[in-house]
Amino acid sequence: MMTNPTGRVTQGQFSFLPDLTDAEITAQIQYGLSKGYAWSVEYTDDPHPRNTYWEMWGMPMFDLEDAAGVLMEMNACRQAFPRHYIRLMAFDSTRGVETITMSFIVNRPPNEEGFMLERQEVNGRSIRYTVRGYGANRPEGERY
Amino acid sequence: MTDMTEITDKKKRYSAGVLKYKQMGYWVPDYVPKETDTICLFRITPQEGVDPEEAAAAVAGESSTATWTVVWTDRLTACDSYRAKAYRVDPVPNNPGQYFAYVAYDLILFEEGSIANMTASLIGNVFSFKPLKAARLEDIRIPVAYIKTFKGPPTGLVVERERLDKFGRPLLGATTKPKLGLSARNYGRVIYEGLKGGLDFMKDDENINSQPFMHWRDRFLYVMDGVNKASAATGEVKGSYLNVTAGTMEAMYERSEFAKELGSVVVMVDLVIGWTAIQSMAEWCRKNDMIMHMHRAGHGTYTRQKNHGVSFRVIAKWLRLAGCDHLHTGTAVGKLEGDPMTVQGYYNVCRDSYTKTDLPRGLFFDMDWADTKKVMPVASGGIHAGQMHQLIDLFGDDVILQFGGGTIGHPQGIQAGAVANRVALECMVKARNEGKNILEEGPDILRKAAATCGPLKAALDTWGDISFNYQSTDSSDYAATPTTA
Coil/strand/helix, residue A5: coil
pLDDT at B476: 84
B79 touches chain A (CB under 8 A): no
pLDDT at B436: 98
Strand partners, B293: B268, B326
Residue from the list A13, A98, A116 with its beta carbon closest to the beta carbon of B232: A116
Q: Where is average pLDDT lowest: A20-24, A70-74, B63-67, B150-154?
A: B63-67
Phi/psi-derived region of residue B468, left when phi > 0, alpha when psi is between -120 and 50, beta in every other case = beta
Residue B343: phi, psi to the nearest 5?
Answer: -65, -40
- Catalytic residues of B, which ones? 177, 295
Residues from chain A contacting residue B234 (CB–CB below 8 Å)? 2, 4, 9-10
pLDDT at B2: 61
pLDDT at B132: 94
**d(C-alpha B283, C-alpha B280), whole Å:** 5
Judged against a pLDDT cut of 90, whether residue B14 lies above it is answered with: no
Judge: B435–A16 Cβ closer than 8 Å, yes or no.
no
pLDDT at B470: 65
pLDDT at B119: 97
If one compares B417 and B3, the residue with the highest pLDDT of the two is B417
Q: Give B482's pLDDT tier (boundaries 50, 70, 90).
A: very low
**d(C-alpha B149, C-alpha B134), whole Å:** 32
pLDDT at A19: 97
Q: Is the peptide bond before B154 cis (omega within 30 degrees of 0)?
A: no
pLDDT at B479: 66
**Alpha helices, DSSP H only, in B410-478?**
414-433, 438-451, 454-463
- Cβ pairs A/B, distance under 8 A: 127
How far A124 CA lies from chain B's nearest CA (Å)? 11
Judged against a pLDDT cut of 90, whether residue B464 lies above it is answered with: no
pLDDT at B227: 98
**d(C-alpha B459, C-alpha B450), whole Å:** 9
What's the DSSP call for residue B467?
-
CATH superfamily ID and name for A22-112: Ribulose bisphosphate carboxylase, small subunit (3.30.190.10)
Judged against a pLDDT cut of 60, whether residue B483 lies above it is answered with: no
The tens digit of pLDDT for each residue in A25-40 reads 999 999 999 999 999 9
Judge: A115–B433 Cβ closer than 8 Å, yes or no.
no
* CB contact burial B373-395 (16+ within 10 A = b; e otherwise): bbbbbbbbbbbbbbbbbbbbbbb
Q: Give B338's pLDDT tier (boundaries 50, 70, 90).
A: confident
Q: Give B469's pLDDT tier (boundaries 50, 70, 90).
A: low
Q: Where is average pLDDT lowest: A85-89, B193-197, B327-331?
A: B327-331
pLDDT at B334: 73
Task: Quote the Cα angle for B473-B479-B483, to 5°.
Answer: 55
> Beta B171-175 vs B400-402: how paired, if at all?
parallel
Residues from chain A contacting residue B455 (CB–CB below 8 Å)? 5
The tens digit of pLDDT for each residue in B39-48 reads 999 999 999 9
Judged against a pLDDT cut of 50, whether residue A43 lies above it is answered with: yes
pLDDT at B61: 94
The tens digit of pLDDT for each residue in A97-114 reads 999 999 999 999 999 999
The tens digit of pLDDT for each residue in B363-381 reads 999 999 999 999 999 999 8
Q: Are B64 and B41 in contact (CB under 8 A)?
A: no
Outline where DSSP puts E strands in B148-303: 171-175, 201-203, 239-243, 266-270, 291-295
Q: How buried is residue B180: exposed, middle or buried, by Cβ count under 10 Å (0-12/13-18/19+)? A: exposed
pLDDT at A122: 93
Q: How buried is residue B287: exposed, middle or buried, by Cβ count under 10 Å (0-12/13-18/19+)? A: exposed
Strand partners, A99: A92
Phi/psi-derived region of residue B294, left when phi > 0, alpha when psi is between -120 and 50, beta in every other case = beta
**d(C-alpha B239, C-alpha B200), whole Å:** 7
pLDDT at B457: 96
Q: Give B69's pLDDT tier (boundaries 50, 70, 90).
A: confident
Coil/strand/helix, residue B457: helix
**d(C-alpha B462, C-alpha B478), whole Å:** 37
Give the number of C-alpha atoms closer than 13 A to the C-alpha of residue B245, restricted to the C-beta side. Answer: 22
Q: Give B332's pLDDT tier (boundaries 50, 70, 90).
A: confident
Nearest to B232 by CA among A115, A51, A8, A129: A115
Judge: A49–B371 Cβ closer than 8 Å, yes or no.
no
Judged against a pLDDT cut of 80, whether residue B480 lies above it is answered with: no
If one compares B392 and B14, the residue with the highest pLDDT of the two is B392
pLDDT at A1: 83
Q: Give B475's pLDDT tier (boundaries 50, 70, 90).
A: confident
Kindly give, in sequence order, each residue whose CB lies less than 8 Å from that of residue B372, ignoring residues fewer than 6 positions away: B147, B150, B152, B153, B320, B321
Kindly give, in sequence order, each residue whose CB lies less than 8 Å from that of residue B68, ignoring residues fewer than 6 positions away: B18
- AA letter at A116: M
**d(C-alpha A26, C-alpha A13), whole Å:** 15
**d(C-alpha A97, C-alpha B158), whole Å:** 7
Mean pLDDT of B472-484: 67
**d(C-alpha B477, C-alpha B483), whole Å:** 11
Mean pLDDT of B399-413: 94
Q: Give B485's pLDDT tier (boundaries 50, 70, 90).
A: very low
Judged against a pLDDT cut of 50, whether residue B247 lies above it is answered with: yes
